[in-house]
Amino acid sequence: DCLPQVSKRCAVIGGSGFLGRHLVEKLLDRGYSVSVFDIRQSYELPGVTFHQGDLCDKQALLSALKDVSLVFHCASPAPSSDDRLLFERVNIRGTQTVIQACLDAGVQKLVLTSSASVVFEGTDVKNGKEDLPYAKKPIDYYTQTKIEQEKLVLEACNKPKGFLTVAIRPHGIFGPRDPQLVPTLVDAARQGKMKFIIGDGTNLVDFTYVENVVHGHILAAEHLRADSPICGKPYHITNDEPIRF
């Protein structure tokens, strides 16, 4: 484990969300002070400064990134919103704005929450490594914009400029305050929609406990240095074993 970086200020874009709030809580435990940037405020915590705004607005971002050396970007429209224009505006153009704001504000490290689905073509992937190519036919438009977003962030990694980036790719995230994954499964079961087996019943899907996802983000952030091999790279993140589905 790494030493906490006491007195460091970081920002969590999307810090009001499910993953973002868990990340904020762990960062506080580790001695960081945190600026949350989000279109909504969902809680209050000592040590956290909230900045309400849209990440497509560079000026709004700049005021939240003042004196910040490390940024986590875990904001996205919900995949279920199924709104092409919104995904494109927030995940692609908004991420370009985030990168530009980081550069203007002198931020040194950017950690992106990507998604394991960026390499999913609709066929089985078991023990898939990061050398898998991006999906040529992504499963939906949300995933297509997650691919573009990840490429933008990783290509922005620039050691001479002192701007280092890394991406973490979780698949389904579960844990306390999960607003989507488990509640959606429970609803489906209650409505009798879980009586069917697709395939031969041996399908696997990867779910990761939210604290493990948070841990992966913080390890990546704290190891991101100019001499580190993780600069500009994506990392899958998972529990030890996939869950039988």
Residues annotated as catalytic (active site), given as ranges: 142
Among 35, 95, 97, 113, binds ligand NAD (CB under 6 A): 113
Ranges of H-type helices in the chain: 18-29, 58-64, 84-87, 94-105, 141-155, 181-190, 210-223
Which one, 31 or 233, has the nearer CB to ligand NAD? 233
DSSP per residue, 151-207 = HHHHHT-BTTTTBEEEEEE--EEESTT-SSHHHHHHHHHHTTTTS--STTS--EE-E
Cβ proximity to ligand NAD, 101 vs 164, nearer residue: 101
Binding residue (CB under 6 A) for ligand NAD from 90, 107, 218, 220: 90
Q: Given the complex with ligand NAD, which of 208 and 222 has the nearer CB atom? A: 208
Task: Lay out the site mask for ligand NAD across 145-184 (x = CB under 6 A, - = otherwise).
Answer: -------------------------xxxx-----x-x---
Q: Which stretch binds ligand NAD (CB under 6 A): 48-56, 131-139, 186-194, 196-204?
A: 48-56
Instruction: Provide the greatest CA pair distance for the chain.
Output: 57
What is the closest distance, in whole angstroms, from the C-beta atom of residue 148 to ligand NAD in the complex? 13
* Number of amino acids touching ligand NAD (CB under 6 A): 27
- Least separation in angstroms between residue 115's CB and ligand NAD is 4
Q: What's the token pair of residue 6?
A: 């006491």
Residue 23 phi/psi, 5° resolution? -65, -45
* Amino acid letter, residue 46: P
Q: Is the dihedral of CA 236, 181, 209, 74 positive or negative?
A: positive
Q: Does 23 bind ligand NAD (CB under 6 A)?
A: no
Distance of alpha carbon 196 from alpha carbon 211, whole angstroms = 31
What are the residues binding ligand NAD (CB under 6 A)? 14, 16-20, 38-40, 54-56, 74-78, 90, 94, 113, 115, 170-173, 179, 181
